[in-house]
A and B are shown apart, each in its own frame.
Chain A
């Protein structure tokens, strides 16, 4: 019961506290409108290069849009606590770390989903890509999985934040790597073999592929293997993130470096 309370109530309260500054004046330009411009940029680059359809770039960039809020927000769960000098208080509580950090991750996944679905919907209208109505429910599921796997990677980034202070810089670099490597704009077949091998182990790769197949008319059942791999990666990232968090928490206590800015 306590774990459920920590997950739901603790997660929601901490999200509100850590992101009180995320008012509509910041949220709308940075998380809703900016991804639309990224979609437009790559749709036009795609048209100039004549390599893929508008739908290819719309889906790739809309899903990649989820990476920004998920990675930055998870990084901020540690950096923000440290900034407000509450990290020490948080980590002295006897609360189990699993519901504590999963509770913080849940609103982040939801936010990533909203950002990505907005990009898909409005971006589709802007570039004239018509996604059939019956495709939206399976697409929403894929977007949720993509958000979860990006949040999982964000948890690892947050854990590293206990040792390295520049989580925002790391988030930017990870977002950039996902842009190049995960088949968002460049078809995977065009990447060097070693980079393609790396992309298999990154979030978004399988979700983007599944979303494109679904938009092209494939059934949900046919993309289950891709969704399974994306879900597996999400779970793997979360486990690794929690393990690193635990290890770095112990080491930070030992070296008294928990709140070093």
Chain B
């Protein structure tokens, strides 16, 4: 087998192994796990109650689908921004950097595991919306809907990847992560249509992949074609991953040169 062939086989395997190990580690903390499900549910419940008063069932369905994505972003926002800091405290950062595996691959696998954990919250919100608020679970194109969820999880994970490398020099990176929770919910139109936001804010919404991901989910659910939105979401997610890999590489080079890798 050629060198490229071996690399092509090795990379998905390495990604899957790191993703699975991280997923098991994240799932082991029951208290945090419960909180990750419950916390976005409080916001989703508030939104459900507010839209129920308005009596507009379409709005309930619109916001309900968006609310399911809130938990995925919540599970990535704060934890990805402090991902490198955490490895540093655990004393595993040097091991990750010196491993014969691209640093970007390890970090993107970690943030993908964080986003995957958010799927618990997504399912919980769907069930909660259905049971308590009578939200319709009728999805016209279930396969396209499933694809939209997978691409959305990937895209949110890549934002987390970019966040993890851009805020690494900020000592209290977790504070930036938790600060970004509500703005992304708002900007990506999870509860409110983007068209309702001020005109100058909308370009920001359009460069955030979840805006397109959640739009694809809604399109798949209502029966219109979601593929263009899905493609934009995937391309933006890929662009975030590329940016994160490049920034990560330059940061790593600088940390090695100045011997600051292990400094907390």
A residues bordering B, Cβ < 8 Å?
23, 25-26, 29-30, 33-34, 37-38, 40-42, 44-51, 166, 169, 172-173, 176-177, 179-180, 184-187, 190-191
| A173 pairs with B35, CB closer than 8 A | yes
- Residues on A with beta carbons closer than 8 Å to the beta carbon of B47: 45
| A44 pairs with B35, CB closer than 8 A | no
| B178 pairs with A48, CB closer than 8 A | no
B182 within 8 A of A: yes
Please measure, in the bound complex, the distance between the C-alpha atom of A47 and the C-alpha atom of B193, giving whole angstroms.
Answer: 11
- Nearest CB in chain B: distance from A194 CB, A: 14
Pick the 3 closest A-B CB pairs, nearest first: A176-B42, A37-B182, A29-B179
| B179 pairs with A186, CB closer than 8 A | no
| B179 pairs with A49, CB closer than 8 A | no
Interface stretch of the complex, out of B155-163, B184-192, B216-224, B246-254: B184-192
Which listed residue (A34, A48, A180) contacts B196, Cβ 8 A? A48
| B171 pairs with A25, CB closer than 8 A | yes
Q: How many residues of B contact A (CB 8 A)?
A: 38
| A37 pairs with B196, CB closer than 8 A | no
B59 within 8 A of A: yes
| A41 pairs with B185, CB closer than 8 A | yes
| A190 pairs with B53, CB closer than 8 A | yes
| A34 pairs with B54, CB closer than 8 A | no
| B42 pairs with A37, CB closer than 8 A | no
- Residues on B with beta carbons closer than 8 Å to the beta carbon of A48: 51, 59, 63, 191-193, 196
- Residues on B with beta carbons closer than 8 Å to the beta carbon of A184: 46
Please measure, in the bound complex, the distance between the C-alpha atom of A49 and the C-alpha atom of B170, giving whole angstroms.
Answer: 38
| A186 pairs with B178, CB closer than 8 A | no
- Nearest CB in chain A: distance from B63 CB, A: 8
- Nearest CB in chain B: distance from A54 CB, A: 13
Chain B 235-259 against A: per-residue CB contact (8 Å), 1 yes, 0 no?
A: 0000000000000000000000000
Interface of A is mostly: helix
Interface residues of B in 143-191 (CB under 8 A from A): 170-172, 175-176, 178-179, 181-183, 185-186, 191
Q: A42-B46, A48-B59 are in contact. Are A30 and B53 (CB under 8 A)?
A: no
- Residues on B with beta carbons closer than 8 Å to the beta carbon of A172: 35, 38-39
| A190 pairs with B182, CB closer than 8 A | no
- Nearest CB in chain A: distance from B59 CB, A: 7
Which listed residue (B38, B56, B196) contacts A44, Cβ 8 A? B196
| A186 pairs with B182, CB closer than 8 A | no
- Residues on B with beta carbons closer than 8 Å to the beta carbon of A23: 172
| A41 pairs with B54, CB closer than 8 A | no
| A51 pairs with B196, CB closer than 8 A | no
Which listed residue (B39, B63, B172, B186) contacts A26, Cβ 8 A? B172
* 14 pairs from A and B in contact (CB 8 Å cutoff): A25-B170, A26-B175, A34-B182, A40-B186, A41-B186, A44-B186, A44-B196, A45-B191, A48-B59, A49-B59, A176-B42, A176-B43, A180-B42, A190-B49
| B54 pairs with A45, CB closer than 8 A | no
Which listed residue (B34, B49, B183) contacts A186, Cβ 8 A? B49
Which listed residue (A45, A169, A176) contacts B50, Cβ 8 A? A45
Interface residues of B in 33-72 (CB under 8 A from A): 34-35, 38-39, 41-43, 45-47, 49-54, 56, 59, 63
- Closest B residue to A173 by beta carbon equals B38
| B176 pairs with A29, CB closer than 8 A | yes
- Residues on B with beta carbons closer than 8 Å to the beta carbon of A29: 172, 175-176, 178-179
B197 within 8 A of A: yes
- Nearest CB in chain A: distance from B207 CB, A: 18
- Nearest CB in chain A: distance from B157 CB, A: 22
- Residues on B with beta carbons closer than 8 Å to the beta carbon of A169: 31-32, 34-35
Which listed residue (B41, B42, B53) contacts A49, Cβ 8 A? B53
| B182 pairs with A40, CB closer than 8 A | yes
Please measure, in the bound complex, the distance between the C-alpha atom of A177 and the C-alpha atom of B32, giving whole angstroms.
Answer: 17
- Residues on A with beta carbons closer than 8 Å to the beta carbon of B176: 29
- Residues on A with beta carbons closer than 8 Å to the beta carbon of B172: 23, 25-26, 29
- Nearest CB in chain A: distance from B56 CB, A: 8
Known: A45-B51, A186-B50. 18 other contacts (CB 8 A): A25-B175, A26-B175, A29-B179, A34-B178, A34-B182, A37-B181, A37-B182, A45-B46, A47-B196, A48-B191, A48-B196, A51-B50, A172-B39, A173-B35, A176-B43, A179-B42, A180-B46, A186-B49
